[in-house]
Structure formats: structure tokens, C-alpha cells
């Protein structure tokens, strides 16, 4: 048995998404504010901690609808207005894949007695406990507040809360800033009363209505007569554990004015220090006082002897003090006598700040003479790694009833559930990149490291991780990645940005060679494609070295320095292989590539020229954008044809060398046709390169500038110079030179960067605007 799908609706940014769970490890990736945390919080709210919902968990675009419902209650029109609660209530649908041999675990979840499907669905929905009582309570509070407001004297108007410079006909303060008694609106009422009037209820779903579409965003509707399940639908089916992102390493957590040492056993779930985790593990699995076994007898006898000896010693030590009390009249003849007793518990040996220590390697010293330091003195990364791994070990042993936990009398609640779900948020905190890679490879193995687990499918473990780490994402398989993509808000009033989730396991379909290339390429490049606001694909090493510097040092591109861009060096002959991935990610992308002219049907490189029947060798230009190989057509291509804008809000544009006018040993400007980044730099920086110090290509370019009589000869000489190696060295020489500040960005790159800025600014507002000429409604 395992979770096959989870559908989340009306919860924060997740208005309607499906997340396909891998059978072993599922990893949530995506840019900041893309919905990863919302998904983890939804799983925790509905599956673990159902008592801590807030109004902020309801998708913001539904607030206006709920306020309208409150207004209809106030006006008495509620019976004439059909309100669709199902469209606004937060929910999580859990779809379990259940083999026939485990059918007995889900008997209470079967929709019919003749069920023969492979999946079972349960909806957990956060809904009003009693709708009539909710309406009555709201109206009571609202009408009472209105009565008090209406009874106020007209001679005492509500003070104007707007700033002095915004009064007298000028813009006033936001209406929500004006004084009003609670509850101002129905959502204002829920902000204070939500947990007392709402609760999570579970409903059985119909597998026959489950949509098999890979990108389904319309979870099935409940039947009008659907009745909630009594009790926890997953009791006995799965154990659910979590390691949250706020682990608080490196400092004591205060609760109620006490530090961690003072209130250790009442910590935030999961514990804040390894020592507290060890104490919890000891109590559950190792404590000899808990259902003692034969091997515990020796320890118990030793503890008893120690307790007796310590008690006798205390009685002897306090005898003088107790005798002194008797001398002053207490205890008297009728008063109870004082007696000291002791209790020695093994847990007391771990209940102190230095229960966990790290042994510091000491030169020429035996281990017994090594220095030891408490856990607070160790690095945060090391603390975090040990803490998470120990969590996983503890979760596993608790699930499998290891040690004392397995000696309890078996009841329905102590049987081992067939499924173990573990949620981990942002495990990369404080961890070195290499440690992150090791962790993601070992975490699942730790959870399965038990004699009765291993590769068996009788009991399954599913690990879900949310991360911002490219190291974790790239170490994982594509089949494990679930990409959270931000969607801009639709143009209708009240809409807010939402998210969708892409299953990257099928992003390449049946393209075996393409998938293999992309997997290997991304692992080799260690790019952060899954976490970026935008991507820039460049042709070669020279572009990869120089273009990021031009972006950082030129004022027209200042906006890009505040954006999260990923730079990928991939030639035009391979960039098109990323098409499926970039489209699935919906990532705004600029592809800086080369014209790469060739002679007709041959593959021989050619100097660009008009009306020469030349074609482009660049696969990206030929098969993707703009889908053209004729050099003559490409040279005169309109800017609009160089970009593809998707209705969902992202766009992809290609930038290649196009004609520029230059003066080279002539009085009039002439058309220069560049073929690569390097000769484009040459044509637009003739004076800078002529006086530059350097070797290799710089020397060859300078010789060409001196010896060539016209632009045509210069183009031929530049092409010959570029036929060999040295492009990366050329870029490094430019980067080292003081003349770099005078270098002009090639026009095709400049235009592409300005386009990228425009697209990212549009995405910044996260609103889909109407097309040109279309009025916004």
C-alpha cells in the first residue's frame, strides 16, 4: 500500500493541484513563494495537526465570496442565494494504491461492497461543524456590534483616521483602516472564531470518478448526501511523522519563560536538541523500568543497590539536621516524622545540558584522554545532520515497535501500520553541499534499515522532502521531482496568484536519448534551474564568462541583478533538447545562441552573406524558435517572431546575431553580419579591440583590423581566426583588461536582455494582463 496521488484545494496558493507521489522518495522543488511550503503545511494540517488552522489557510480569492455570504445572512437573502461551500473549503484528497492482499486495511474506506479498483480515495475537508449555529453566532455578534455603532451619538463622529495630507477631498485611508467594532465582516469573525466553529471531516471518494489526466486540476465533487467517516480514516493504515524546517539549532528554545534545559520534556514536537531526542528515544524503546526483560534484571538490581546505598547515606547526612529540628519542637509528639527517600531513574543520567558530547580528536592521546565538548559547541550543519538522521531512526523504530515499544499488549492502536509517511522540510539548512547530496541518498535507506523492511513491499515507506537546494534536486532522479510553478493571477477582480504542480517523471515522454542527455547535463552543470525566476541559455564559454559580468556592471541591466537567474552554457545544437523541460517548468527563458551559417545542403561553415543560399546549422533556430533555417530569412526576422509567449504567463525568446551598421575603413556605415559572439564583439567594438593587450584571438583580430582593406575581408579573416580554439581565453583576456568597462554589449544580446527584463517585471506583479488592445474587465 502506498499513496499514489494527493490533491489539494483551496489551501493558500494551492487552489487546485494534484501531486503524484513516488513510491519511495518525492521531492518538492520550485522557486520562492511557489507553493512548496503550502503543500507541506496542507499535509501537516490535515494529516498530523488538525487543530491549528487559520483564516490565512483559505485561498485569498475566496475571502470576498465568504464575506458576500455574511452579507446575505445579514440581509436575510441567504435562502435565495445558493452558496457553494465546496468551492471555498480547504481540503486534501489522499488516493491510496491498495493491493488485494491488503484489502482488509481499507474496508471502512471502500465506496461499495463490489469494489475492485486499485485505488481508494479519502477527502479531508475543513468545514463548519454546524452551519446553522455558525450563521446564528455570526449574526448575533454582527448585529450586536451594529446596534452599538448605530446607537452612538451623531454629535460624536468617528475620528478621521486618514493622514492630514490625504483629507479634504484627497485620497482617504483604506476602508479597512477605519474604526469598526468586531466583527467587521464574516472573514473578520472567522479570524477570531475559526477553530471553534470549523473542524476536519473525512469523506469517502469514488475511484470511478478519479480523473486519470496527468495534470488534473478539478477534484471530484462530493455527493450531496455524502456522510463523514466516524473517527480517523487513516488510523491503523499509516504512521505519519515530520521534521519541520524550524529546528531552532544553536540556541535554547524558550517556552513559558524557561529555557530548553528547564522544560526539556515539553519541547516543540521533534525536540530541539539531540540530547532531548535521545531521552525521548530512551523512554520509548530502552527504559528497563518499562516492561522489563531478563536482560534488564542486572541493570535494575544495580539501580536498586545504588538507591539503597544512596538512601542510607542521605539518612546519615541529614540525621544531625533532623535532630536539630526536633530540638526546636518539630516534629512534636503528634506531628508526622520526616524521612528521606531516594529514587534513582536511568533517565536522570541523560537529563542535563551536557548529556551529549563530541569527542575532539587530540594529537598523541588515547581516546580516554581526548577532550569532550557539549553539543552546543559543534557546528550547526553537523548538529542538523545528526538531528535529522536521529529523527528518521526514531520514526522508523517507533513505527516498527522496536524495543520496549514492541512489548506492549497488542491492540488495534499498537499494530504496525502498512504505510509510513515521513515529511521533511528544508533539510539543507546549514549543510555543506556534499553533505546534502549524501543525505538525500541515505535518508530513505535509514528509514528502511530494519530486518523486516528492506526491499519488501508488505510495509511501505514514503519520504516527502521540500527543498530549496539545487544539490539535493540534482542528486535525485527526475522521477522523484515535483515542480511547483507560480501562476500569475487572472485578470478578474479579486484574483490572486496561485500555483500548479508538474510531475517531472514524464516530462520527456518517450524521448529516451533526450532524457538521458538532459539528466547527464543537469548533473554535470549543477544548475539551479528548478529554483530560478528565469533562465539564460548561452552558446559557449565566452558568453558564459562575459555576459553575466556585463549584466552586473551595466546600468541598463540593473534590474536583473535583483532577480534569481540561472545561467546555462549549452550550444545551439543542444539547447532545443531542454525544450520539454523548460515548457513544463513554465520558466521565462532567454536563449543566446549563434547564427552558425553553412553552405547550402552541406555542413561546411560559411561566412554569413545575403542571397548566397546559406542555411543555419543551429538546431534551436531550425526546430524550435523561430523554426527557420534560411539565413536570409533569419537576418530579417521581426523581433516578435523571436519569442514565444505562453498564455499561462511565461515566455521564451531566442537572441542570435542580426545585421548591424559599422564603419570600417569607409566613410559610410556598412552592414556587418556576425556569425558568433566573438565576431559580433569585434564588429561593435572595433576601437576597443584595436588597442587591447592580449594574445590568441585578440592578436589575430588586431592583425585582421590592420591588414584587411574592407569589411568583407575582415569578416573572412575573423571567420578563419575563430575556426580554432581560444574563445574561452579571449573572454578571460577581456575580463582581465581595463578596457572591459568600455566594451559595448552586442546589439542582439542587449535586445534580448531588455526583453528578459520586461518579462520578469511583468511576472513580478503576477497578473495576466489583457492582450494589446483588449480592455481589462
The model's pLDDT over 546-561, given as tens digits with 9 standing for 90+, comes to 999 999 999 999 999 9
Please, which pLDDT band fits residue 641 given cuts at 50, 70 and 90? Answer: very high
Domain spans of the chain? 2-149+178-237, 290-344, 517-658+751-764, 660-744
Angle, vertex CA 74, rays to CA 72 and CA 76, nearest 5:
65
pLDDT in tens, 23-47: 999 999 999 889 999 999 999 999 9
Does 172 have pLDDT greater than 60?
no
Q: Which grid cell sits at 507?
A: 516530462
**What number is the average pLDDT over the span 284-304?**
69
Q: What is the DSSP letter of 731?
A: H
Average confidence score pLDDT of the chain: 83
DSSP H/E element including 217:
none
Total count of residues recorded for the chain = 777
Q: What is the pLDDT of residue 30?
A: 93
In Å, what is the CA distance from 357 to each residue of 371, 372, 378, 434, 518?
10, 6, 9, 25, 45
CA 120, CA 204: separation in Å to the nearest integer?
8
Q: What is the pTM of this model?
A: 0.82
Please, which pLDDT band fits residue 15 given cuts at 50, 70 and 90? Answer: very high
Q: Which of 99, 98, 102, 121 is nearest to 111 (CA)?
A: 121
Does 252 have pLDDT greater than 80?
no
**Residue labelled with grid coordinates 538546431:** 619
Find which of 337-346, 523-532, 545-554 is predicted with most confidence, using mean pLDDT.
545-554
Tell me the H-state helices in 528-592: 541-553, 579-585
150 burial type by CB count under 10 A (0-12 exposed, 13-18 middle, 19+ buried): exposed
Q: What is the pLDDT of residue 176?
A: 59
CA 762, CA 777: separation in Å to the nearest integer?
18
In a 3-state reduction of DSSP, which class is residue 373?
Answer: strand
**What number is the average pLDDT over the span 526-538?**
89
- Ranking 254-258, 448-452, 502-506, 756-760 by mean pLDDT, the lowest is 254-258
Strands 119-128, 91-97: pairing is antiparallel
CA 196, CA 530: separation in Å to the nearest integer?
40
Q: Which of 377, 315, 303, 300 is nearest to 343 (CA)?
A: 303
Cα 743 off chain centre by: 39
- Ranking 297-301, 345-349, 621-625, 754-758 by mean pLDDT, the lowest is 345-349
CA 115, CA 420: separation in Å to the nearest integer?
25
In a 3-state reduction of DSSP, which class is residue 171?
Answer: coil
In Å, what is the CA distance from 423 to each residue of 1, 192, 207, 670, 699?
18, 29, 26, 64, 59
Q: Which of 686, 677, 657 is nearest to 728 (CA)?
A: 677
Q: Which grid cell sits at 436?
A: 546534502
CA 621, CA 627: separation in Å to the nearest integer?
6
Task: Please say whether the beta carbons of 46 and 19 come within 8 A.
Answer: no
**What number is the average pLDDT over the span 264-273?**
44
Strands 651-655, 588-592: pairing is parallel
Amino acid at each position: 500500500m502506498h499513496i499514489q496521488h494527493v490533491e489539494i484545494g483551496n489551501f493558500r496558493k494551492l487552489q487546485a493541484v494534484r501531486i503524484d507521489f513516488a513510491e519511495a522518495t518525492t521531492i518538492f522543488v520550485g522557486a520562492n513563494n511557489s507553493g512548496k511550503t503550502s503543500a507541506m503545511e496542507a499535509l501537516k494540517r490535515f494529516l498530523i495537526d488538525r487543530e491549528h488552522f487559520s483564516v490565512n489557510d483559505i485561498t485569498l480569492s475566496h475571502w470576498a465570496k465568504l464575506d458576500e455570504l455574511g452579507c446575505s445572512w445579514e440581509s436575510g437573502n441567504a435562502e435565495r442565494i445558493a452558496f457553494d461551500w465546496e468551492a471555498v473549503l480547504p481540503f486534501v484528497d489522499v488516493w491510496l494504491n491498495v493491493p488485494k492482499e491488503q484489502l482488509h486495511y481499507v474496508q471502512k474506506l471502500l465506496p461499495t461492497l463490489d469494489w475492485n479498483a486499485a485505488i481508494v480515495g479519502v477527502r479531508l475537508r475543513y468545514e463548519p461543524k454546524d452551519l446553522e449555529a455558525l450563521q446564528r453566532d455570526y449574526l448575533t455578534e454582527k448585529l450586536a456590534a451594529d446596534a452599538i455603532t448605530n446607537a452612538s451619538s451623531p454629535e460624536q463622529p468617528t475620528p478621521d483616521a486618514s493622514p492630514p495630507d490625504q483629507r479634504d477631498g484627497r485620497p482617504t485611508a483604506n476602508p479597512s483602516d477605519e474604526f469598526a467594532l468586531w466583527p467587521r465582516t464574516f472573514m473578520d469573525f472567522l479570524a477570531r472564531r475559526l477553530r471553534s466553529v470549523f473542524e476536519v471531516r473525512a469523506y469517502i471518494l469514488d475511484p470511478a470518478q478519479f480523473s486519470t489526466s496527468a495534470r488534473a486540476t478539478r477534484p471530484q465533487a462530493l455527493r450531496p448526501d455524502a456522510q463523514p467517516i466516524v473517527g480517523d480514516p487513516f488510523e491503523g493504515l499509516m504512521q505519519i511523522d515530520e521534521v519541520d524546517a524550524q529546528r531552532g539549532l544553536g540556541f535554547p528554545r524558550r517556552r513559558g519563560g524557561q529555557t530548553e534545559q528547564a522544560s526539556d520534556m515539553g519541547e516543540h514536537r521533534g525536540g530541539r536538541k539531540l540530547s532531548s531526542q535521545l531521552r525521548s528515544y530512551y523512554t520509548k524503546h530502552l527504559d528497563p523500568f518499562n516492561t522489563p526483560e531478563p536482560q534488564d534484571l542486572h541493570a535494575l538490581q544495580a539501580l536498586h543497590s545504588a538507591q539503597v546505598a544512596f538512601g542510607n547515606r542521605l539518612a546519615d547526612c541529614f540525621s544531625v539536621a533532623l535532630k536539630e529540628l526536633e530540638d526546636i519542637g518539630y516534629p512534636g509528639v503528634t506531628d508526622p516524622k520526616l524521612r528521606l527517600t531516594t529514587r534513582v531513574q536511568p533517565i536522570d543520567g541523560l537529563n542535563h545540558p551536557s548529556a551529549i558530547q563530541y569527542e575532539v580528536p587530540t594529537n598523541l592521546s588515547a581516546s580516554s584522554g581526548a577532550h569532550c565538548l557539549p553539543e552546543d559547541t559543534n557546528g550547526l550543519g553537523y548538529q542538523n545532520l545528526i538531528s535529522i538522521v536521529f529523527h528518521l531512526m526514531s520514526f522508523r523504530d517507533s513505527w516498527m515497535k522496536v524495543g520496549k515499544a514492541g512489548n506492549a499488549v497488542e491492540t488495534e492502536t499498537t499494530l504496525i501500520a502498512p504505510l509510513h509517511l515521513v515529511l521533511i522540510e528544508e533539510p539543507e539548512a546549514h549543510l555543506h553541499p556534499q553533505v546534502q547530496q549524501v543525505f538525500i541518498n541515505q535518508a530513505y535507506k535509514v528509514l528502511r534499515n530494519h530486518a523486516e523492511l528492506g526491499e519488501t513491499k508488505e510495509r511501505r515507506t514514503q519520504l516527502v522532502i521540500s527543498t530549496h537546494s539545487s544539490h539535493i534536486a540534482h542528486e535525485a532522479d527526475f522521477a522523484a521531482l515535483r515542480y511547483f510553478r507560480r501562476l500569475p493571477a487572472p485578470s478578474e477582480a479579486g484574483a490572486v496568484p496561485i500555483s500548479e504542480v508538474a510531475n517531472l517523471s514524464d516530462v520527456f515522454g518517450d524521448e529516451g536519448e533526450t532524457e538521458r542527455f538532459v539528466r547527464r547535463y543537469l548533473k554535470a552543470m549543477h544548475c539551479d534551474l528548478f529554483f530560478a525566476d528565469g533562465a539564460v541559455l548561452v552558446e559557449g564559454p565566452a558568453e558564459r564568462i562575459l555576459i553575466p559580468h556585463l549584466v552586473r556592471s551595466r546600468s541598463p541591466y540593473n534590474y536583473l541583478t535583483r532577480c534569481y537567474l540561472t545561467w546555462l552554457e549549452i550550444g545551439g545544437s543542444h539547447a532545443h533538447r531542454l525544450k520539454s523541460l523548460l515548457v513544463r517548468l513554465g520558466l521565462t527563458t532567454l536563449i543566446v545562441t549563434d547564427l552558425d551559417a553553412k553552405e547550402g545542403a552541406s555542413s561546411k561553415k560559411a561566412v554569413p552573406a545575403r542571397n548566397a543560399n546559406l542555411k543555419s546549422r543551429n538546431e534551436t533556430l531550425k526546430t524550435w524558435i523561430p523554426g527557420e533555417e534560411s539565413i536570409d530569412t533569419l537576418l530579417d526576422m521581426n523581433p516578435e517572431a523571436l519569442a514565444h509567449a505562453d498564455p499561462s504567463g511565461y515566455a521564451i525568446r531566442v537572441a542570435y546575431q542580426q545585421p548591424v551598421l559599422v564603419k570600417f575603413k569607409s566613410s559610410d556605415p556598412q552592414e556587418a553580419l556576425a556569425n558568433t559572439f566573438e565576431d559580433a564583439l569585434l564588429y561593435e567594438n572595433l576601437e576597443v579591440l584595436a588597442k587591447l593587450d592580449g594574445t590568441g584571438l585578440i592578436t589575430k583580430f588586431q592583425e585582421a583590423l590592420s591588414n584587411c582593406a574592407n569589411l568583407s575581408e575582415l569578416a573572412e579573416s575573423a571567420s578563419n581566426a575563430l575556426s580554432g580554439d581560444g574563445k574561452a581565453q579571449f573572454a578571460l583576456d577581456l575580463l582581465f583588461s581595463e578596457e572591459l568597462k568600455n566594451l559595448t554589449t552586442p546589439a542582439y544580446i542587449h535586445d534580448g536582455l531588455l526583453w528578459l527584463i520586461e518579462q520578469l517585471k511583468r511576472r513580478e506583479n503576477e497578473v495576466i494582463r489583457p492582450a494589446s488592445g483588449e480592455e481589462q474587465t
